[in-house]
Amino acid sequence: MPKVYFVIPCYNEEEVLPETIKRLNSKLCELIEQEKATDDSRMIFVDDGSRDKTWSIISAYSRENKYVGGVKLAHNRGHQNALLGGLMTAKEEGCDCVISLDADLQDDIGVIDQFIDKYMQGCEVVYGVRNSRKKDTFFKRSTAQGYYKFMKLLGVDIVYNHADYRLLGSKALDALSEYKEVNLFLRGIVPLIGYRTDYVYYERNERFAGESKYPLKKMLRFAVDGITSFSVKPLKIISNIGLVICALSVIGFIYALISLILGSAVAGWASTICSIWFLGGLQMLCIGIVGTYVGKIYSEVKARPRYRIEEKIIVKE
């Protein structure tokens, strides 16, 4: 029987948290009764520096229920860092496997049994994959799916329609702890770990209550992080564009030279000004892309801590 940990990052989730705790608790108790999990299995709710009552809810429940554990981050570090904080805490607690899921009950907890069955069959990594995105808005669905395809095109190995609902065994957790990068994109890192892998399919629900904690701005930043942390193709594309433009300008130069010799050259104000604008813009774009990578190198080199735990409540037997 494995010691199973659930890790749930929470940011301003006071509206859903009581229901989430209730449902996950009954799921965990069911697993323990069915002898699919040991009695020292736990749920870890990671409070990602919430400004509402999230932490007081977590700590109140943890006083009454030994299965409820909590970790409070000192400030808001974002979903990925909060999740990592929870995963590493679970690892330190010596769990056999950990299942990460969102606090808003969008991930169907009914398939947790399947996760554990696959783990028992020897899988170290089990991905939860969405069957369809019927419940998402058209905008979210099309941008998300386009993004997955674009990532594939750039040579990044990510699992299509998989978010952060997954099981990791202790070996996979050990491996994950060796990835020290600051610009965290777990969906990109986990496939690099290797080991035996499987998939569990589920239907994604609507958010149980409250609003999405991923506004467009955060989503875009996350998307750019995913690309620039895992692919250097944009850099190659820049060099290729530069090369093509060089080639074209040589042709242009020959053309101009011929016109000059034939005496048909006109005062080319328009073309001059156009090329100045075009090249200026292009250069700025390229510098911008290069700058993004330089920025990443900067933050990786600083190697700042990715999260800091302020308080931890986990009841041992």
Binding-site ranges for ligand UDP (CB under 6 A): 9-11, 13, 48, 76, 78-79, 82, 102-104, 106, 212-214
Cα(122)–Cα(134) distance, integer angstroms: 32
The region of 4-12, 105-113, 127-135, 245-253 touching Mg ion under the rule CB under 5 A is 105-113
As measured in angstroms, the least distance from the Cβ of 221 to ligand UDP is 11
As measured in angstroms, the least distance from the Cβ of 200 to ligand UDP is 18
The region of 6-14, 68-76, 100-108, 142-150 touching Mg ion under the rule CB under 5 A is 100-108
Q: From the list Mg ion, ligand UDP, none, which binds 78 (C-beta under 5 to 8 Å, kind-based)?
A: ligand UDP
With binding defined as CB under 5 A, does residue 229 bind Mg ion? no
As measured in angstroms, the least distance from the Cβ of 207 to Mg ion is 5
Looking at residue 164, the DSSP 8-state letter turns out to be E
With binding defined as CB under 5 A, does residue 54 bind Mg ion? no
With binding defined as CB under 5 A, does residue 48 bind Mg ion? no
CA angle (176 as vertex; 170, 178 as ends), nearest 5: 115
Among 106, 161, 228, 229, binds Mg ion (CB under 5 A): 106
Q: Cα 75 to chain center, whole Å?
A: 19
As measured in angstroms, the least distance from the Cβ of 14 to ligand UDP is 11
| CA gyration radius, the chain | 25
As measured in angstroms, the least distance from the Cβ of 303 to ligand UDP is 22
Q: Is the dihedral of CA 212, 209, 56, 83 positive or negative?
A: negative
Nearer to ligand UDP, 214 or 293 (CB): 214
Quick check: 82 and 73 in contact, CB under 8 A? yes
Cα(214)–Cα(231) distance, integer angstroms: 23
Cα(12)–Cα(283) distance, integer angstroms: 42
Among 47, 48, 104, 225, binds Mg ion (CB under 5 A): 104
Nearer to Mg ion, 45 or 119 (CB): 45
- Distances 108 to 31, 41, 45, 182, 203 between C-alpha atoms, Å: 15, 20, 17, 30, 7
